[in-house]
Amino acid sequence: MAMPASEIEALIKAAFPDAQITIEDLAGDNDHFAATIISEAFRGMSRVRQHQLVYAALKGNMGGALHALALQTSAPE
Amino acid sequence: MEDPVFAEIKSKIDAAPVVLFMKGNPMFPQCGFSARVVQILKHSGVSFESVNVLEDPEIRDGIKVFSDWPTIPQLYVKGEFVGGCDIVTEMFQSGELQALLAEKGVSQDASA
Q: Where along chain A do its domains lie?
A: 5-74
User: Could you give the CA distance from residue B108 to residue B98 in angstroms, rounded to a whole number?
Assistant: 8
Contact A48 B81 (CB under 8 A): yes
Residue B51 clears pLDDT 90, i.e. is over it = yes
- Distance from C-alpha of B71 to C-alpha of B64, rounded to nearest angstrom: 7
Q: How confident is the model at residue B1 (pLDDT cuts 50, 70, 90)?
A: low
Query: Angle B85-94/A47-57 helices, nearest 10 degrees?
Result: 150
B56-92 pLDDT, tens digit each: 999 999 999 999 999 999 999 999 999 999 999 999 9
Of A47, A55, A72, the CB nearest to B70: A55
Cα B100 from chain centre: 14
From the CA of B71, how many Å to the nearest CA of chain A?
6
Structural domains of chain B, count:
1
The pLDDT value recorded for residue A1 is 55
* Cβ separation B90–A72 shorter than 8 A: yes
Q: How far apart are CA B10 and CA B21, in angstroms?
A: 12
DSSP annotation of A62 = B
Q: Listing from the earlier edge strand, what are the strands of the sheet with B80-83?
A: B49-52, B18-22, B74-77, B80-83
Range of the domain at B26: 4-103
- If you average pLDDT over residues B40-67, what whole number do you get? 96
CATH fold label, A5-74 = GMP Synthetase; Chain A, domain 3 (3.30.300)
**Confidence (pLDDT) at B27:** 96
Residue B112 belongs to some domain of the structure? no
B42 near B34, Cβ under 8 Å? no
Interface contact A60-B70, CB threshold 8 A: yes
- Give the H/E segment covering residue B98: helix B96-103
Put simply, the answer to whether A51 touches B70 (Cβ < 8 Å) is no
CB A40, CB A76: distance < 8 Å: yes
Q: Is the dihedral of CA A47, B96, B109, B26 positive or negative?
A: positive
Read off the pTM. 0.91
Predicted confidence (pLDDT) per residue in A15-57, tens digit? 999 999 999 988 887 788 999 999 999 999 999 999 999 999 9
CATH number of the domain where residue B26 is located: 3.40.30.10
